[in-house]
Amino acid sequence: MGHKLVIVMRGDLGMSKGKVAAQAAHAAVEAVLRRLDHPDLRTWLAQGQPKVVLRVADEEALQQIVSAAASAAVPVVTIADAGRTQLSAGTTTCCAVGPAVSSDIDQITGNLPLL
């Protein structure tokens, strides 16, 4: 059974490539920290830490992904910007879904396009 981590970025914020990379890194680190004692994390690490970065149109679409993951009991974390550079403090930029079983994540994010 494959495992992965999916990061879902908002497409409406006009973030630079560097900002997108930093926000994705924040999401990946936070997702891992929240799963330190879970067997899914160990499995994901052993499988090479598969990651996929997808996009949604806006904050509403991102919140729909977050709600769907929470309802399905799939781990999810949102990232809010600190406001030091391009965005206002508290702007939700992305979420991380997983690390968890790939098929569980695909039921939530499988229809989203790649970033």
- 114 beta partners: 54
Whether the CB-CB separation of 94 and 76 falls below 8 Å is answered with no
Our count of domains for the chain comes to 1
> For residues 37 and 33, what is the distance between their CA atoms, to the nearest angstrom?
9
Q: Is residue 11 part of a domain?
A: yes
Q: Which of 44, 106, 34, 37 is nearest to 69 (CA)?
A: 106
Judge if pTM exceeds 0.85. Answer: yes
* pLDDT digit string, tens, across residues 34-90: 999 999 999 999 999 999 999 999 999 999 999 999 999 999 999 999 888 889 899
Distance (Å, rounded) from C-alpha 59 to C-alpha 40?
Answer: 28
Residue type, 31: A
| Residue range of the domain that includes 103 | 3-109
| CATH code of the domain containing 87 | 3.40.1490.10
80 lies in some domain? yes
Give domain status of residue 115, yes or no.
no
